[in-house]
Structure 1
Amino acid sequence: MGFLETMQERGMLAQVTHEDELRAHLASGVRTAYAGFDPTADSLHVGHLLPVLGLRRWQQAGHRVIVLLGGGTALVGDPTGKTDMRQMADAETISARAEHFKKQLAPFIDFKDPKKGIVLNNADWLLQLQYLPFLREFGVHFSVNRMLTAESVRLRLEKGLSFLEFNYMILQSYDFYHLNKQEDCSVQLGGDDQWSNMLGGMELVRRKEQKQAFCVTLPLLVTSEGKKMGKTEKGAVWIDPNLTPPFDFFQYFRNIDDNMVEQCLFYFSDLPVAEVKRLGALRDREINDAKIVLAYEATKLVHGEEEASKARTMAAGLFAGGAGGKPEAPEALVVAKDLPPGDEVSVVDVLVLAGIFASKSEARRLIEGGGLSLDNDKVTSTTATLAVARLKTEEGVLVRKGKKSYHTLKLAK
């Protein structure tokens, strides 16, 4: 099955330019597509996964992919979806992030053979541009009136849009032009919020090079209420296991809304369409079985089969009531030298030190709401203490935060 057919079957297409022309283009040979990722954080997150998986499907269909790291465009900042100007990072930080992104993307895409996939950084050409020659050659192809109608720009006009950010669309468009000339890249993939920026690049290629160029967007990862998926009370759901442990990643998908299960199974698994539809049709208690499958498949995709199996086993032990002893849960460690002197330590303090809570006020609110337990005993006071000796035991202390978040609190060795 071809790329477009697979993407349509799995609900992974949002918009496509020149669809009939693109189908003929793909049928006539191996084609190159790219997707860009600006290193504006230390890790990719769940929201990045759909474009990544779009590239994966493209490569599985026998075509070549380019992962474009935005070492140059990240110095400008994309205004899309932002209510304020993004905080700028220095070039050294952006470069380090780009290298980390490259490692994170390797499990999804085959980079071993350059004929199948490569990684590039747009800093390599954008930083070499000379301002006036660039304006004279490319600025004439962009209408300010049209740029102002782009949603990414229009939504920011009321709050204020810097001239720096206003340049982003032109730079992204130039990326497509450059990749078309240097790598014979004819397709750009991206999230649907990038549509306006992507059209600029496609039109630039068609106008200056008189060559075929296409845009394909994927749906944004949103809930049925239209809220972006990939956010929790702790923040983003990261791909980096040091920021979001595989168990927490598993639990995120285990706890999604019932009506999102089928859609996410199409996105984050390779299960056959018939099996996805069967699982998505389950209702009431049985939908939990489908969620476990989804959580396992998504975790396997990102962290590998071993981590996915460990997370599934850990979750089963926790939510089966821990029969046969204390259930296993991801460890949260606290360093002995960080503890105050004495045999007792404040529960609030130690949970913040272990990273289970981001702040003392957050811990106190949960305690006041009756949502914190230690070894299945509810913590009823914000001034409660815990014996340090319990942290030194092999089994540690089982912390239940809310209904479904568990950690084993231990002293670091």
Structure 2
Amino acid sequence: MTNLLDDLAWRGLLYQQTDAEGMEQLLSEEKVSLYCGVDPTADSMHIGHIVPLLTLRRFQMHGHRPILLVGGATGMIGDPSGRSEERQLQTTEQIDLNVQGIKKQMEQIFDFDTENGAQMVNNREWIGSMDVIEFLRDFGKLININYMLGKDSIASRLDTGLSFTEFAYTLIQGIDFNHLYDHFGCRVQVGGSDQWGNITTGLEVIRKTHDDNTKAYGITIPLVTKADGTKFGKSASGSVWLDAKKTSPYEFYQFWINTADSDVIKYLKIFTFLERAEIEALEVTVENEPHLRKAQITLAEEMTRLIHGQYALDQAIRISQALFSGNLKALTAEEMKDAFKDVPSVEMAKEEKNIVDFIVEATVSPSKRQAREDVTNGAISINGEKITDVAYVVSGADRLEDEFMIMRRGKKNYKMIKFV
């Protein structure tokens, strides 16, 4: 099997290590437990969250045990890292709902039933029962204020303002690492580059509460960006979520398939579990046959299958093929609604209307004269069915689920008509 750290380096997944030599020796001598944390600030993760988790999954594939920490306690405070203002605090009930949503997504990524199966823990189990005196006496005394002021996540907020609540976040995360070290044998924390300060605080807490022979390690992963330096993980409609209700599998598939040639090999390395030889072969196709978009198709298929499963991938491919060919009749009403949710739309009454008048009212054609020409020339279709008769009457039979209709003018001009 490929050396894990060498593979991570080749994929561009190693940014900082607290002790590179010690880490390499540890992994060569034993199978370890290591963790990554996610704060449940929403009921779904988005694709920007999953790079450390996918990295943790790579460790699991090499025989190590992942511990998945969901921050039921820290999520109620808010990590100041990378933020310019205080996070909006959430209720306990909302945090619990968020935890449930994230747990389902973790189950898509990790194996839970193998010998080194993933274990999910919630830091509210040990932080929630700690009183303020215990926190200050047992842990507050361990970390010097000057040490904390040296953390980028704290120093960057001193001018704009930082509450004591968020100031204490890094120490609470240090308590997490210490607890996992003591109770789960956890030796390594993995996180994004913005978590370096929190990880090193955890190592400091472990060092001060154990003897000199204690060894724990931290690894961070670089921030993923596009080739032009802009932020990764946003589509035209916003963040790309793992929850199918927030970002449908079709939209998820389309996000990856629209990856630029300049980014696709980097993303294949970071996000997929394809072997090096497969990725290098796809790199050749990007250089020699970019029009075939083999690398993008592979990336979209691998990611959609991982997060949403084979059935959802098959559905996303079917929608994509139907839109490319113009054969909308191959789609179900639900698939049409999904595929066209972002196209221009107009609301109309549920009444029978001549096709020419309907087209003008729906602003599909600018005038009755143009509408007649469009119909006569075969440029108009309703739900994939071409309409060529200017006497055609649009009726309830044309409404999908009695709610909407997809009208197309020409090859690419779509409009969703919503009936009220």
Aligned residues: CA RMSD: 3.4
Q: Distance in 1 between matches of 2:275 and 2:312?
A: 23
Establish whether residue 343 from structure 1 lines up as the match of residue 351 from structure 2: yes
How many Å apart are 1:2 and its aligned residue?
A: 3.6
Over 3 Å counting, the alpha-carbon distance change for 1:137 and 1:246 in structure 2 is same
- SS at the partner of 1:244? coil
Larger mean CA deviation between 125-134 and 57-66 belongs to: 125-134
How many Å apart are 1:56 and its aligned residue?
A: 0.7
Please list every run of 5 or more consecutive structure 2 residues that lacks an aligned counterpart in the other structure: 341-346, 363-380, 385-393
Over 3 Å counting, the alpha-carbon distance change for 1:59 and 1:375 in structure 2 is same
Please report the TM-score for the alignment, with normalisation by the length of structure 2: 0.80
Q: Contact between 1:246 and 1:299, CA under 8 Å: does it hold in 2?
A: yes
Paired AA for residue 12 in structure 1: L
Q: 2:387 — aligned with what?
A: none
Q: Distance in 1 between matches of 2:413 and 2:56?
A: 33
Q: Distance in 1 between matches of 2:68 and 2:173?
A: 14
How many Å apart are 1:227 and its aligned residue?
A: 2.7
Q: 2:399 — aligned with what?
A: 391
How many Å apart are 1:5 and its aligned residue?
A: 2.5
Q: Contact between 1:237 and 1:249, CA under 8 Å: does it hold in 2?
A: yes
Q: Distance in 2 between matches of 1:17 and 1:406?
A: 54
Establish whether residue 315 from structure 1 lines up as the match of residue 323 from structure 2: no
Q: Distance in 2 between matches of 1:393 and 1:128?
A: 51
- SS at the partner of 2:294? helix
- Percentage of matched positions with identical amino acids: 35
Over 3 Å counting, the alpha-carbon distance change for 1:399 and 1:198 in structure 2 is farther
How many Å apart are 1:343 and its aligned residue?
A: 2.0
Q: Distance in 1 between matches of 2:176 and 2:45?
A: 21
How many Å apart are 1:405 and its aligned residue?
A: 11
Q: Deviations over 1:184-207 (max 9, x none)?
A: 101001111111111110122123
Establish whether residue 24 from structure 1 lines up as the match of residue 25 from structure 2: yes
Paired AA for residue 296 in structure 1: E
Q: 2:374 — aligned with what?
A: none
Establish whether residue 303 from structure 1 lines up as the match of residue 317 from structure 2: no
Q: Contact between 2:199 and 2:218, CA under 8 Å: does it hold in 1?
A: yes
Please list every run of 5 or more consecutive structure 1 residues that lacks an aligned counterpart in the other structure: 351-372, 377-385
Q: Contact between 1:72 and 1:126, CA under 8 Å: does it hold in 2?
A: yes
Aligned residue runs from structure 1 range 5-404, under 5 A: 5-113=6-114, 115-210=116-211, 211-281=214-284, 282-283=286-287, 285-286=290-291, 288-319=293-324, 321-322=325-326, 326=329, 328=331, 330-332=335-337, 342-343=350-351, 390-392=398-400, 397-398=405-406
Q: Distance in 2 between matches of 1:193 and 1:399?
A: 47
How many Å apart are 1:308 and its aligned residue?
A: 1.6
Over 3 Å counting, the alpha-carbon distance change for 1:407 and 1:164 in structure 2 is farther
- SS at the partner of 2:86? coil
Q: Distance in 2 between matches of 1:63 and 1:77?
A: 29
- SS at the partner of 2:157? helix
- SS at the partner of 1:398? strand
Q: Distance in 1 between matches of 2:413 and 2:114?
A: 42
Q: Contact between 1:279 and 1:287, CA under 8 Å: does it hold in 2?
A: no
Q: Which has the larger radius of gyration?
A: 2
How many Å apart are 1:10 and its aligned residue?
A: 2.0
How many Å apart are 1:224 and its aligned residue?
A: 2.1
Q: Contact between 2:403 and 2:419, CA under 8 Å: does it hold in 1?
A: no
How many Å apart are 1:63 and its aligned residue?
A: 0.8
Q: Contact between 1:331 and 1:408, CA under 8 Å: does it hold in 2?
A: no
- SS at the partner of 1:153? helix
Paired AA for residue 37 in structure 1: V
Q: Distance in 2 between matches of 1:264 and 1:45?
A: 15
How many Å apart are 1:409 and its aligned residue?
A: 6.9
Over 3 Å counting, the alpha-carbon distance change for 1:404 and 1:227 in structure 2 is farther
Q: Distance in 2 between matches of 1:217 and 1:25?
A: 17
How many Å apart are 1:215 and its aligned residue?
A: 0.4
Q: Deviations over 1:349-392 (max 9, x none)?
A: x9xxxxxxxxxxxxxxxxxxxxxx9879xxxxxxxxx9765323
Q: Distance in 1 between matches of 2:282 and 2:399?
A: 41
Q: Contact between 2:402 and 2:419, CA under 8 Å: does it hold in 1?
A: no
Q: Distance in 1 between matches of 2:318 and 2:400?
A: 25
Paired AA for residue 343 in structure 1: E
- SS at the partner of 1:79? coil
Over 3 Å counting, the alpha-carbon distance change for 1:404 and 1:65 in structure 2 is farther
Q: Contact between 1:331 and 1:409, CA under 8 Å: does it hold in 2?
A: no
Over 3 Å counting, the alpha-carbon distance change for 1:13 and 1:374 in structure 2 is farther
Q: Distance in 2 between matches of 1:134 and 1:115?
A: 33
Paired AA for residue 230 in structure 1: G
Paired AA for residue 111 in structure 1: F
Q: Contact between 2:81 and 2:153, CA under 8 Å: does it hold in 1?
A: yes
- SS at the partner of 1:156? coil
How many Å apart are 1:341 and its aligned residue?
A: 5.4
Larger mean CA deviation between 26-35 and 138-147 belongs to: 138-147
Paired AA for residue 322 in structure 1: G
How many Å apart are 1:32 and its aligned residue?
A: 0.4
Q: Distance in 1 between matches of 2:329 and 2:262?
A: 33
Count of residue correspondences = 374
Larger mean CA deviation between 303-312 and 239-248 belongs to: 303-312
